[in-house]
Amino acid sequence: MQRMHVPAPDLVLRTESNSDASGPDNRGLEIEMTETTGPGLLNIREAARYLGISHHTLYKLLERREVPAAKIGGSWRFNRATLDEFVASQSLVPRPRVLVIDPIKGDRDLLADFAVARAGQIDTVASAADAIVQLGRAKPDLVFVGGDTVEAVASTVNTLREEGIEARIVVVVAPGNAAIASPAMEHGPVFLLPKPVDRDDVISILTLITH
């Protein structure tokens, strides 16, 4: 199959050879609408590249109505100038580096997914030891700590403090299990984030520490 572009910016002419054809015909010819963007407009993949994020992340931001866009003919379209304004406005708001420590991958991925709209960078690891290796000399601004026992939370928080990480701590707790956060409280105030984790609660915490 061969693909070649024709002058019209919104059309791709795709031709397909037909070995059974006795002579030239158009049976293998079809017009494929791959772009309907005009000057200054971007489709979803172009906008994702322009913003430097994956198109999956951009879809999530669209679902949350956190990026300006318009739906034309069932497809999302983005104005380049409006995206520039959006990026400029976002750059004025401090975006913290977030560390998520939880032995359960699904739980830490969920937290990271909720935090992506307000965090500058997100590191997800299974343990404090993994965090030290991954962070190197970098220091997070906020740490989410998940664990099912007092001992697990105490070990995580102690390791972080011993390594000089003084970030604010958010302990993710199951209902009725707030006592597991007590080791973290020995090192200063902490946030308690109840399960099941709610996106708005995560955003509220991130907003609070950046103001």
Same domain? For 109 and 191 the reply is yes
Phi, psi (degrees; rounded to nearest 5) at 131? -65, -40
pTM over 0.75: no
Torsion, Cα of 203, 207, 210, 211 (10° steps): -170
| Cα 7 from Cα 13, distance rounded (Å) | 10
Same domain? For 144 and 201 the reply is yes
pLDDT digit of tens for each residue in the chain (211 aa)? Answer: 444 433 333 333 333 334 444 444 443 333 233 344 455 789 999 998 888 788 888 888 888 788 899 988 889 999 988 888 877 766 656 788 999 999 999 999 999 998 987 888 899 999 999 999 999 989 999 999 998 888 899 899 999 999 999 899 999 988 888 888 887 788 777 888 989 999 889 988 887 876 6
Same domain? For 12 and 45 the reply is no
Question: What's the number of domains the chain is made of?
Answer: 3
Residue 194, preceding bond cis, omega within 30 degrees?
A: no
**What pLDDT is stored for residue 210 in this prediction?**
67
One-letter amino acid for residue 64 of the chain: R
Same domain? For 86 and 70 the reply is yes
Same domain? For 56 and 76 the reply is yes
Same domain? For 184 and 136 the reply is yes
**What pLDDT is stored for residue 93 in this prediction?**
61
Same domain? For 82 and 182 the reply is no
Same domain? For 115 and 60 the reply is no
| Cα 179 from Cα 173, distance rounded (Å) | 9
| Cα 196 from Cα 194, distance rounded (Å) | 6
Same domain? For 116 and 156 the reply is yes
Same domain? For 123 and 205 the reply is yes
The H-or-E segment that residue 57 falls in is helix 55-63
> What's the domain range around 55?
41-91
**What pLDDT is stored for residue 107 in this prediction?**
94
CATH number at residue 162: 3.40.50.2300
Same domain? For 45 and 140 the reply is no
Same domain? For 52 and 109 the reply is no
**What pLDDT is stored for residue 182 in this prediction?**
81
